[in-house]
Structure 1
Amino acid sequence: MVDAPKPEPVLQLDADALKARKRRNLWLGLALGSFVVLVMAVTVIRLTTGIGVSARM
């Protein structure tokens, strides 16, 4: 019978590493949110002005 592999120990981060992780996550979230807003704004502008719609109809 084969023994199950032992789980790796959990890495404990110090206060500076946790602070840096939170800062990176914040900037990543803001970048993702601004990208979603940009795509939504471009979509709304294209739909209201009719850009690209007449060529397909």
Structure 2
Amino acid sequence: MALRPEHEIHTRRRGRNVGVGLMLAGFVVLVLALTFTKVTNGAFELPRAEELTQ
């Protein structure tokens, strides 16, 4: 049984899906990079227990 050739709309949809996937992956990398930069910066400190009880 032969496979039918792929319709042109599926080719365009696949290209669009790849583009959206790459943009989503880029956004995730950007958020992770910003989070990593903020956490590794020396100004980041966890709140102390004394400050939380006041």
TM-score (norm: length of structure 2)? 0.65
Identity of aligned residues (%): 9
Q: Which 5+ residue runs of structure 2 have no aligned equivalent?
A: 47-54
Partner of 2:52 in structure 1? none
| Counterpart in the other structure of 1:31 | 24
Aligned partner of 1:50 in structure 2 is 44
Structure 1, unpaired ranges of 5+:
1-8, 53-57
Higher helix share: 2
Q: Map 1:6-25; keep pairs closer than 5 Å.
A: 12-25=5-18
Q: After the TM superposition, which parts of structure 1 deviate over 2 Å for at least 4 consecutive aligned residues?
A: 9-12, 49-52
SS at match of 1:36: helix
Shift of 1:10: 6.0
Length-normalised TM-score, structure 1: 0.62
Residue 11 of structure 1: how far off its partner (Å): 5.8
